[in-house]
């Protein structure tokens, strides 16, 4: 049952932590709001004092318009690289404005080497240098170069250049403690930049002119050499015309020879065909040349064939009329033989002519081929000469163009030597600033207040994290693992008798919380009444004695109650009730030196009885461990309804553990906002190890209003508008 209650309490605490974390932060701030505000105010005042002591810084700004030079005269970029100004040109000009050389010229121009703001000899030395000087270290005197370097670096640190996006404007800012000096330096930077640009352009133009002049003589000599080499080549090769005119005759000759070669090849083909026919006929067994096409087509042979045919016809006619011996017959046959011989001889002449014709055609073809080869060789020679001629002509032309270009540029550079226009001009000169740019006192003080407030809040959070005390009911239940029986309000110092507050003011909030504790004790053991209640705490001054007495007074209204002061090391109850410390009490009763009637005293104003601690024994723990003490408790349980025992703190001695073993219930008192939860947790662990019957805890001296406000510990007792109702509760209710 108890373990289940403890688990439920732990789960409820975890859920509460998850849901109200931000609320806890706000309550932490609200709890220390005046301290937070005071710390933030202190930081703000300190920042304001520091800001007031800082020297003001003034800023002056000069605006420059940077334009690309669009004149058609020689530009430095064209002379050296041929690249015109690009989009990086303006960023380059901004870097030039921040260059060390430009800053050095401004330093010399304005004589800043002796100015108090820049001269390191006139400035206050850092503390480490003062400490070194006091220790005997002598710093060497700065040289003129060192002073100049330091001044230039100081000026560069105070100078800033801002190119305006999507424009040709550049703003030159300079910050200084002297408003006049800030404007003077900003204007000097702009003017020196323009002067430097003009001077650089003049020097570069002059240098370009000198370079062009030195190059012209070499170019002129090279041009003359190229022209002379071209002319010598033409004279040596006897070239008097251009390539087209020089090759026109030989080209026509090549065309004619090629055409003749084609004809010759056709004729050679025909002759070769006829020659091959002759060879074929000769190679036969009975050569007959009469069937050759060339023979058949020959007109002379055709006529001879006709004559031979007529002669044969005549011989045939005469043979019919005359005999072979007839003179006419003989004459006709002689004519026939002559005619055939003439035909044969003519055929042989034709065949021989075909052979010769083939050989002539072949020789003619070969002759034409040799002629073509010679002509092609001549053309190739002309081509080589023309190639060399073209190289020489191009070299002459190139040399002439370069020479003419340099002559033109030289004339332009010479003519425009003093006509270079600046590419930069001051659009808006710097003026003296009416107010300092820094420190922005209002802004710094506001930021200091915000940061101070933030720092103070962080400190408040840190203090809350470091505060390990038990603050409210939920905290007590979570840390101790015990139900809280009641929460007792903080008693003001004006109450002279806090131990009798229940009797003195029974209608007070304090008395109501005591009654709540009484009810909680009764409800915690419905079947069997807790007859022996032990009241203890972790450390002294947690209010356990006050609670024990007032709880006894509350129970005495309905039951027979005995209050025992078992804190024999530091007894307080008897003293608060006016009983002499030498009077017999618990120690005397246990030791047997006195009887019960001598040791038990009535408490004035109540039905409760008191058993004080008695004379302080040398061995209280041994006395409580004795069997007599156990027998005494047994006898008292039979005589009284409830016995309330006030015991020493658990963390100091073991008396409470011994007494708790003889009790039926233990109430653990914890002082709010003071008892560390680890100390209280250790005390509860000790009681549990001793098998003490823990009923619950009592959160003592809790400031209800503070708890309502800072911890969310809602209680009607903390609300002043409800307190009037309680005073009439049970008697006469307020309307």
Q: Give the chain's length.
A: 735
CB atoms within 10 A of CB 672: 27
Cβ within 8 Å of residue 315, ≥6 positions away: 329, 332, 333, 335, 336
Within 10 angstroms of residue 4's Cβ, the number of other Cβ atoms is: 8
SS3 percent helix, strand, coil of the chain, rounded to 5, is 60, 10, 30
The pLDDT of residue 728:
36
**Rg (Cα) of the chain, in Å, rounded?**
69
pLDDT band at 535 (very low <50, low <70, confident <90, very high): very high
626 and 656 Cβ atoms separated by less than 8 Å: no
Measured at the CA of 465, the angle between CA 461 and CA 468, to 5 degrees, comes to 140
218-235 pLDDT, tens digit per residue, is 766 776 777 677 667 656
Which has the minimum average pLDDT: 31-40, 448-457, 512-521? 31-40
Region 691-706: mean pLDDT is: 83
Mapped onto helix, strand or coil, the DSSP state of residue 429 is: coil
**pLDDT digit string, tens, across residues 628-685:** 888 888 888 888 989 999 999 988 888 888 888 888 889 999 988 888 888 888 888 9
pLDDT, residue 39, reads: 87
The pLDDT value recorded for residue 654 is 85
pLDDT band at 534 (very low <50, low <70, confident <90, very high): very high
How far, in Å, CA of 493 to CA of 467, rounded?
Answer: 25
Both tokens of 405, joined, read 């270009």
**What is residue 296's predicted lDDT score, i.e. its pLDDT?**
62
CATH class for the domain made up of 473-721:
alpha beta
- Which pLDDT band, with edges at 50, 70 and 90, does 541 fall under? confident
Q: How far apart are CA 650 and CA 709, in angstroms?
A: 32
Is 29 or 520 the better-scoring residue by pLDDT? 520
What pLDDT score does 216 carry? Answer: 63
Which alpha helices (H) appear in 127-242, and where do they start and end? 127-134, 144-158, 179-237
Give the model confidence (pLDDT) of 376-429 as tens digits: 776 666 666 666 666 666 677 776 777 677 667 666 665 555 444 446 788 888
pLDDT confidence tier of residue 433, bands split at 50, 70 and 90: confident
How far is Cα 37 from Cα 134, in angstroms, rounded to an integer?
43
Res 245: pLDDT: 45
Q: State what percent of residues in the chain have pLDDT above 70.
A: 70
Mean pLDDT of all residues in 458-477: 77
Residue 85 CB partners (closer than 8 Å, separation 6+): 68, 69, 77
pLDDT at 480: 85
| 557 vs 603: CA distance, rounded Å | 13
Amino acid 34: pLDDT: 84
Q: 172: helix, coil or strand?
A: strand
364 Cβ contact list (under 8 Å, min separation 6)? 264, 267, 268
| pLDDT band with cut points at 50, 70 and 90 for residue 91 | confident
What does the domain layout of the chain look like in residue ranges?
A: 1-29, 58-210, 243-415, 473-721
**Could you check whether the bond before residue 439 is cis, i.e. omega within 30 degrees of 0?**
yes
| Mean pLDDT for the stretch of residues 549-568 | 89
**pLDDT value of position 586:** 86
Q: How confident is the model at residue 734 (pLDDT cuts 50, 70, 90)?
A: very low
Q: What is the mean pLDDT of residues 562-573?
A: 87
Which tokens in the block code for residue 144?
């003129």
Which tokens in the block code for residue 247?
């090759």
Q: DSSP assignment, residue 539? A: S
pLDDT at 127 over 70: no
pLDDT band at 6 (very low <50, low <70, confident <90, very high): low
Residue 301 confidence (pLDDT):
67
In angstroms, rounded to a whole number, what is the distance separating the alpha carbons of residues 113 and 123?
Answer: 12
Handedness of CA 486, 489, 490, 496 (dihedral sign): negative
Tokens 């720092």, located at residue: 455
Enumerate the β-bridge partners of residue 560. none
pLDDT tens for 106-123 read 888 888 888 888 877 777
DSSP 261-306: HHHHHHHHHHHHHHHHHHHHHHTSSS---TTSHHHHT-HHHHHHHH
| Torsional sign, CA 173, 178, 184, 189 | negative
Q: Is a pLDDT exceeding 60 seen at residue 609? A: yes
What is d(CA 365, CA 263) in angstroms, rounded to the nearest whole number?
9
**Which residue in 515, 496, 607, 614 sits closest to 564, CA to CA?**
614
Per-residue pLDDT at 412: 65
The confidence score (pLDDT) of residue 679 equals: 87
Calculate the CA 106 to chain-centre distance: 39
List pLDDT tens digits, range 524-533: 776 667 789 9
- Higher model confidence: residue 157 or residue 251? 157
Q: Which regions of 33-168 does DSSP assign to beta strands (E)?
A: 58-66, 159-163
Secondary structure (DSSP) of 581-612: TTS--HHHHHHTSS-HHHH-EEPTTSS-EEE-
Distance between CA atoms of residues 274 and 260, nearest Å: 21
Mean pLDDT, the chain, integer: 76
Output the pLDDT for position 68: 65
CB atoms near residue 639 (< 10 Å) = 12
> What is the per-residue pLDDT for 240?
46
Please report which confidence band the pLDDT of residue 721 belongs to, taking 50, 70 and 90 as the band edges: very low
33-74 pLDDT, tens digit per residue, is 788 888 889 988 988 888 888 888 888 999 888 876 554 444
Can you tell me the distance from the alpha carbon of 709 to that of 450, in angstroms, rounded to the nearest whole number?
Answer: 25
Give the model confidence (pLDDT) of 593-606 as tens digits.
888 888 888 888 88
User: pLDDT category, 709, cuts 50, 70, 90?
Assistant: low
């Amino acid at each position: 049952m108890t373990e289940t209650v403890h688990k439920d309490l732990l789960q409820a605490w975890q859920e509460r932590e998850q849901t109200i974390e931000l609320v806890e932060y706000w309550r932490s701030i609200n709890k220390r709001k005046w301290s937070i505000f005071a710390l933030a105010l202190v930081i703000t005042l300190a920042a304001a004092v520091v800001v007031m002591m800082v020297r003001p810084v003034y800023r002056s700004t000069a605006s420059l318009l940077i334009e690309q030079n669009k004149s058609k005269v020689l530009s430095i970029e064209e002379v050296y690289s041929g690249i015109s100004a690009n989009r990086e040109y303006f960023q380059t000009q901004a870097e030039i404005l921040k260059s060390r050389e430009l800053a050095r010229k401004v330093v010399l121009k304005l004589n800043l080497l002796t100015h108090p703001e820049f001269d390191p000899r006139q400035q206050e030395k850092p503390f480490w240098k003062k400490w070194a000087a006091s220790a005997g270290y002598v710093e060497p005197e700065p040289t003129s170069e060192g002073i100049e370097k330091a001044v230039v670096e100081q000026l560069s640190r105070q100078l800033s250049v801002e190119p305006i996006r999507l424009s040709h404007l550049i703003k030159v800012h300079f910050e200084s403690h002297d408003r006049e000096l800030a404007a003077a330096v900003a204007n000097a930077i702009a003017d020196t930049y323009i002067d430097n640009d003009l001077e650089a352009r003049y020097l570069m133009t002059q240098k370009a002119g000198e370079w062009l002049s030195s190059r012209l003589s070499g170019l002129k000599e090279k041009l003359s050499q190229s022209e002379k080499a071209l002319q010598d080549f033409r004279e040596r090769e006897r070239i008097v015309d251009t390539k087209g005119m020089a090759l026109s005759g030989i080209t026509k000759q090549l065309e004619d020879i090629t055409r003749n070669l084609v004809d010759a090849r056709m004729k050679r083909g025909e002759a070769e065909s006829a020659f091959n026919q002759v060879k074929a006929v000769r190679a036969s067994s009975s050569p007959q040349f009469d069937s050759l096409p060339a023979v058949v087509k020959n007109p002379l042979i055709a006529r001879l064939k006709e004559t031979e045919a007529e002669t044969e016809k005549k011989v045939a006619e005469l043979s019919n009329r005359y005999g072979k011996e007839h003179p006419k017959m003989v004459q006709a046959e002689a004519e026939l033989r002559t005619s055939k011989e003439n035909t044969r001889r003519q055929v042989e002449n034709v065949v021989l002519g075909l052979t010769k014709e083939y050989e002539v055609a072949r020789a003619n073809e070969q002759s034409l081929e040799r002629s073509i080869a010679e002509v092609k060789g001549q053309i190739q020679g002309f081509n080589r000469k023309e190639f060399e001629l073209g190289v020489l002509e191009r070299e002459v032309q190139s040399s002439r163009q370069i020479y003419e270009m340099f002559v033109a540029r030289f004339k332009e550079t010479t003519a425009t030597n003093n006509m270079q226009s600046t590419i930069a001009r001051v659009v808006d000169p710097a003026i003296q600033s009416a107010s300092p740019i820094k420190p922005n006192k209002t802004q710094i003080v506001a930021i200091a207040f915000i940061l101070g407030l933030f720092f103070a809040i962080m400190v408040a959070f840190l203090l809350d994290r470091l505060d390990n005390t038990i603050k409210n009911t939920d905290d007590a239940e979570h840390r101790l693992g015990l139900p809280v029986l009641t929460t007792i309000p903080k008693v003001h110092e004006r109450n002279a008798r806090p131990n009798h507050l229940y009797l003195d003011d029974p209608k007070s909030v304090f008395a109501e919380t005591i009654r709540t504790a009484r009810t909680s004790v009764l409800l915690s053991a419905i079947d069997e009444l807790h007859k022996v209640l032990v009241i203890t705490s972790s450390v002294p001054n947690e209010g356990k004695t006050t609670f024990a007495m007032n709880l006894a007074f509350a129970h005495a209204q309905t039951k027979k109650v005995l209050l025992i002061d078992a804190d024999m090391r530091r007894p307080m109850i008897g003293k608060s009730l006016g009983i002499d410390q030498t009077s017999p009490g618990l120690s005397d009763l246990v030791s047997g030196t006195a009887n019960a009637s001598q040791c038990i005293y009535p408490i004035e104003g109540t039905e409760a009885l008191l058993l004080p601690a008695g004379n302080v024994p040398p061995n209280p723990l041994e006395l409580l461990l004795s069997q007599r003490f156990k027998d005494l408790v047994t006898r008292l349980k039979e005589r009284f309804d409830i016995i309330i025992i006030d015991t020493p703190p658990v963390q100091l001695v073991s008396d409470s553990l011994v007494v708790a073993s003889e009790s039926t219930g233990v109430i653990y008192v914890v002082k709010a906002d003071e008892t560390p939860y680890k100390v209280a947790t250790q005390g509860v662990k000790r009681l549990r190890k001793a098998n003490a019957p823990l009923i619950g805890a009592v959160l003592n001296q809790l400031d209800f209003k503070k708890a309502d406000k800072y911890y969310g510990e809602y209680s009607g007792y903390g609300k002043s508008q409800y307190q009037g109702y309680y005073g009439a509760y049970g008697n006469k209710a307020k309307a």
